A and B are shown apart, each in its own frame.
Chain A
Amino acid sequence: MWTFFHKLGSPPWLYAIAGAILRWLVPVTLVALVGGMVWGLLFTAPDFRQGNSYRIIYIHVPAAVVALAGYYVMAIAGAISLIWRMKMADVVMKAAAPVGAALTFIALLTGAIWGKPTWGTWWVWDARITSMLILLFLYLGVVALYEAFDNKEAAGKACAVLSLVGMVNIPIIYKSVDWWYSLHQPASIKFSGESTIDPSMLYPLLLMIAAFYALFTCCLLMNMRAELLQRESRTQWVKKIAGKESRR
């Protein structure tokens, strides 16, 4: 067990293992994304009330779900780096922020596009939508805050604190559709009880959610690898990799 933790703190080991995972995870992710999109766009029946516009669900919901999950990753990594001073946790936190921001952006944008034919408006200052916008600003805030510091250790601490404070927003996003009167519908997929979505629509949606989780993991690992190389650029193992690259 302890050796595992030791390895987890070892940059060359982390770099290598992330590379090994990416070698198969990237192709699997791309196939799942393309497959899920084609399934949702071409092989499902339209919604009886919303017509074809509902097809946006296959990107909107997965992006929103994983944007929230990604925030946990970022905040927990931030907490670990604050409490235990684990350098690799800081790398994870920094790597998660831009990916989370991109996913939140996708969720907001596709939501706005979906809102036009369904609600008749691109944007409302509704609880769910506003709290998602705050999530986007939190992600972007972490990215910007990191860049604002010259001292990267201080930057890591400030970002960790910001992402932990931002955790307040997460239950608000989840509960916003129940707490406030909202245009946004409550969740259709439930872990307990009957889901209020037809299986023919549920399966491609679940595939897309899995694909977006995989996409987040891919981007996280790739960002971590780039970050590790930069932080460790003066060490022998990075020079070895650079030497190999230059001979190609």
Chain B
Amino acid sequence: MYFDSFQALLTMNGHGIYVWPAYLITIVVITAVLVAPLRRRNRLLEQLAAELRRTESATGSGVRGEQ
């Protein structure tokens, strides 16, 4: 490791206040772009599943019965 102590790693000779926020914001943005499609997909599937359950209970048949 290049830095001698945790303190040195945090401050980076005065550049820590630039480097750490840059990395932090990057990590937040990356997490957001990874999670957004997952959440969208899950929400859609939940909606569709709820619709399926409704039609199934109404007609007594559905995709699930076919499998």
Q: In whole angstroms, what is the CA distance A42 to B3 when docked?
A: 7
Total residue contacts A-B, CB cutoff 8 A: 123
**Chain A contact surface mostly:** helix
- Contact partners of B13 in chain A: CB under 8 A: 46, 51-52
Knowing A110-B26, A225-B37, A226-B37, say if A246 contacts B49 (CB, 8 Å).
yes
Q: A226 with B18: in contact, given A215-B30, A245-B49 (CB under 8 Å)?
A: no
Nearest-neighbor residue (CB-CB) of A240 within chain B? B63
- The stretch that binds B, out of A55-63, A74-82, A148-156, A168-176, is A55-63
Query: B17: shortest Cβ distance to chain A, in Å?
Result: 9
Chain B interface extent, by class: 35 or more
The 0/1 profile, CB within 8 Å of A marked 1, for residues 30-67 of chain B is 10111011101100111011111100000000111001
Chain B residues closer than 8 Å to A52, beta-carbon distance: 12-13, 15-16, 19
User: B residues near A, CB below 8 A?
Assistant: 1-3, 9, 12-16, 18-19, 21-23, 25-26, 29-30, 32-34, 36-38, 40-41, 44-46, 48-53, 62-64, 67
